[in-house]
Amino acid sequence: DTGVSQDPRHKITKRGQNVTFRCDPISEHNRLYWYRQTLGQGPEFLTYFQNEAQLEKSRLLSDRFSAERPKGSFSTLEIQRTEQGDSAMYLCASSLTGGLGQFFGPGTRLTVL
């Protein structure tokens, strides 16, 4: 399968713990995006990378959130001191510069107890 992959698919954690998610984009795609989706809503943009550079961050991305893409390949999204309001599906997407749309992974479902 050469699509976008995400790991883990599900994560249950207790409030206050740190969690880290990984995204592997389609191999030739240089752009990578993170979105968050809560129940009954459309995905909301969090941040995006072109190669290893983080070019835009949403104000939704509080200082407890950090994303990296160290070698321009896979990306990680870390949430520190999780809160119940962080419970959501975290979606990763990738694309080519000037390419035809964004392609999404299966998502990581986070539940904060």
Our finding on whether 12 is near other proteins (CB under 8 A) is no
Q: Which amino acid is at 64?
A: R
Cα–Cα distance for residue pair 77/90, rounded to 1 Å: 9
Shortest distance in whole angstroms from residue 104 CB to other proteins: 4
Shortest distance in whole angstroms from residue 64 CB to other proteins: 21
Our finding on whether 74 is near other proteins (CB under 8 A) is no
> Alpha-carbon torsion 15, 45, 71, 100, what sign?
positive
Cα–Cα distance for residue pair 98/96, rounded to 1 Å: 6
Our finding on whether 105 is near other proteins (CB under 8 A) is yes
Cα–Cα distance for residue pair 89/102, rounded to 1 Å: 17
Our finding on whether 25 is near other proteins (CB under 8 A) is no
Q: What residues make contact with other proteins under the rule CB under 8 A?
A: 4, 6, 31, 33, 35, 40-45, 48, 55-56, 58, 91, 93, 95, 100-107, 109
